[in-house]
Structure 1
Amino acid sequence: MSEATTKKPAAVVEVTAADVQDNGTVFCPNPKMPLWSSHPRVFIDLSHEGQGKCSYCGTVYKLKAGEVLHGGH
């Protein structure tokens, strides 16, 4: 099998503005992920594009449609 056919698609986690910390970040792994999938905590900045990707596991975090971040960095 080629590498392209064995890769799993990245998980996408939609977050609300309430899930985002004051500095515009979320962290991965998130509290809802199972313990076996843990890796070092990675902070992902959503304040510029409304989404970001974990450099360890590839999970994509993005704001739910209509959500607006508070603070206006």
Structure 2
Amino acid sequence: MSTTTTPAATVEVTAKDCNDNGTVFCPNPKMPLWSSHPKVFIDLTHDGQGQCPYCGTAYKLKAGEVLSAGH
């Protein structure tokens, strides 16, 4: 028996898309309602990328984007 899985999406974000603390949330506003799960915040401050533990969607900063130092 083989199982076919659809690879999770990768969403490229800009620094403006991030919250002040360098996070984005998932599900994001462009996702259809049927794929909703509890809102989680994905931290992009360490290496510019992160992954949702629920749906596997990967979020990464677009090339050349830099997060601000904070408050």
User: What is the TM-score normalised by the length of structure 2?
Assistant: 0.92
Gaps of 5+ in 1: none
The offset of 1:30, in angstroms, is 0.4
Alpha-carbon separation, structure 2, partners of 1:13 and 1:66: 15
Alpha-carbon separation, structure 1, partners of 2:41 and 2:10: 16
- What is the total number of aligned residue pairs between the two structures? 70
TM-align CA RMSD: 1.1
The offset of 1:63, in angstroms, is 0.2
User: What is the TM-score normalised by the length of structure 1?
Assistant: 0.90
- What is residue 27 of structure 1 aligned with on the other side? 25
Give 1 or 2: higher helix fraction: 1
SS at match of 1:36: helix
Q: Could you report, residue by residue, the CA deviation over 1:9-45 in whole angstroms, capped at 9, with x for unpaired residues?
A: 1100000000011111100000111111110001100
Structure 1 stretches (4+) deviating beyond 4 angstroms? none
Gaps of 5+ in 2: none
Q: Is the 8 A contact 1:51 1:61 kept in 2?
A: yes
Residue 34 of structure 2 corresponds to residue 2 of structure 1 = no
Alpha-carbon separation, structure 2, partners of 1:41 and 1:18: 19
